[in-house]
């Protein structure tokens, strides 16, 4: 199979679709891999490393897309990349199409592209193995980002997460006790904050309680969310429904009830966000003030820890990528149910994709 690894074109996306170690595995299985010039530079991988792994370096995005039967990306393709993608080919990446513009999905359907969303590869127990390392990174980053945003020079209220003797720590509320929520809890607890976690799954709350005995756990009801939102200094949205837009759990009215210069980190923004006042931002301009509250809504948070993210991704995703390459797209999808659940478009049809879009670019 011809496999293409393009350079990511979205701002502040430093990751790459596969490290040289993954390319070496593919080429050892007699597949042809085309890597765009400097595609791995942001993650610290040189063209020479890819060439040593058996890849062919190409010098335009048009060429890498045009040659590939299977394109391995990180972020959802841009309009330009959608023009380049070859009809009938396959595309794998963190696509988050549930919150994408409809015209982008239309192009994938018109070109009969098989779009495989890594974040939707789902095992029988409901776990998301390929999304997991990115969720772990996002949750871990939440603590250090919130600590910075609480500083006065970032527009925060000037609170130290840990507090000091005689001064109480910051109050943190986390919506969601999944992987993101668990690692965010670990990050905030490690910095000494007082943490409350809400989830509608009592078993998930039990796992949080067992792992972090000092953390408060609450069922995620509208009343409990209203109560927690009203007193926290930091609110973290960590809600995920695979293949669907994130539900709005925090209304604008709830945001108005927050203490001035509090901080919201909406880590669900890849799926549209779980806070009504959230809108996507970038690493260049990550935060804005709405209703007197500082909002941080960067979709590609793990993109700034690119080397760690790519290595962690390779560890979990390579078996699926190799199966697609070795067996062919159709056979691999037919024989691998977790992989089949990740298909968003195939043969001009929508698969496993439930949209609630507001029409905004995500």
Structure tokens at 112: 């009969």
Spatial separation of the C-alpha atoms in residues 40 and 174, rounded to whole Å: 34
The b-or-e profile of 5-35 (16+ CB within 10 A means b, else e) is: bbbbeeebbbbbbbbbebbbbbbeeebbbbb
Could you say which of 266, 270, 295, 346 is catalytic? 270
Structure tokens at 169: 């720590």
Q: How many CB atoms lie within 10 A of CB 36?
A: 25
355: CB partners within 8 A, 6+ apart: 97, 98, 99, 102, 244, 245
Structure tokens at 38: 């400097």
The b-or-e profile of 64-87 (16+ CB within 10 A means b, else e) is: bbbbbbbbbbbbbbeeebbebbbe
| 31 belongs to the catalytic site | no
Give the distance from CA 328 to its chain's centroid. 27
Spatial separation of the C-alpha atoms in residues 237 and 239, rounded to whole Å: 6
The secondary structure of residue 43, as a DSSP letter, is: G
| 96 belongs to the catalytic site | yes
The residue whose two tokens read 């001035």 is: 260
DSSP H helix total and E strand total for the chain: 13, 15
Tell me the HSE value of 238 on the side-chain side, using a 13 A CA sphere: 34
Could you say which of 31, 96, 194, 352 is catalytic? 96
Spatial separation of the C-alpha atoms in residues 294 and 71, rounded to whole Å: 37
Closest CA to 228 of 188, 152, 296, 172: 172
CA distances (Å), origin 273, targets 143, 278, 290: 19, 6, 15
Residues with catalytic roles? 96, 270
């Amino acid at each position: 199979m011809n496999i293409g690894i393009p350079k990511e074109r979205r701002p502040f996306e430093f990751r790459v679709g596969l490290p040289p170690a993954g390319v070496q595995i593919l080429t050892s299985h007699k597949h042809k891999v085309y890597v765009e010039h400097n595609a791995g530079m942001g993650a610290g991988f040189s063209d020479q490393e890819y060439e040593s792994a058996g890849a062919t370096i190409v010098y335009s995005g048009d060429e890498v897309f045009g040659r590939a039967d299977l394109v391995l990306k990180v972020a959802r393709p841009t309009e330009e990349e959608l023009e380049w993608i070859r009809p009938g080919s396959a595309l794998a990446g963190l696509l988050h199409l549930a919150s994408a513009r409809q015209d982008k999905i239309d192009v994938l359907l018109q070109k009969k592209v098989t779009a495989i969303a890594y974040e939707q590869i789902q095992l029988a127990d409901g776990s998301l193995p390929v999304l997991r390392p990115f969720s772990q990174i996002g949750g871990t980053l939440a603590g250090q980002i919130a600590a910075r945003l609480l500083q006065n020079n970032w527009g925060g209220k000037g609170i130290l997460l840990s507090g000091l003797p005689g001064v109480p720590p910051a109050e943190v509320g986390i919506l969601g006790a999944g992987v993101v929520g668990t690692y965010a809890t670990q990050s905030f607890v490690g910095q000494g904050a007082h943490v409350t976690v809400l989830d509608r799954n009592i078993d998930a709350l039990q796992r949080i309680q067992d792992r972090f005995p000092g953390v408060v756990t609450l069922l995620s009801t509208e009343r409990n969310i209203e109560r927690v939102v009203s007193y926290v200094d930091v609110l973290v949205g960590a809600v995920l429904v695979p293949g669907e837009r994130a539900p709005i759990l925090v209304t604008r009215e709830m945001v108005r009830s927050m203490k001035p210069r509090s901080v919201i980190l909406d880590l669900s923004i890849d799926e549209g966000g779980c806070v009504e006042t959230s809108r996507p931002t970038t690493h260049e301009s990550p935060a804005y003030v709405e209703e007197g509250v500082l909002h941080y809504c960067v979709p590609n948070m793990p993109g700034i820890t690119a080397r760690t993210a790519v290595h962690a991704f390779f560890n979990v995703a390579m078996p699926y990528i190799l199966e697609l390459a070795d067996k062919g797209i159709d056979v691999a999808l037919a024989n691998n149910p977790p992989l089949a659940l990740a298909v968003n478009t195939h043969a001009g049809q929508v698969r496993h994709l439930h949209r609630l879009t507001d029409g905004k670019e995500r």
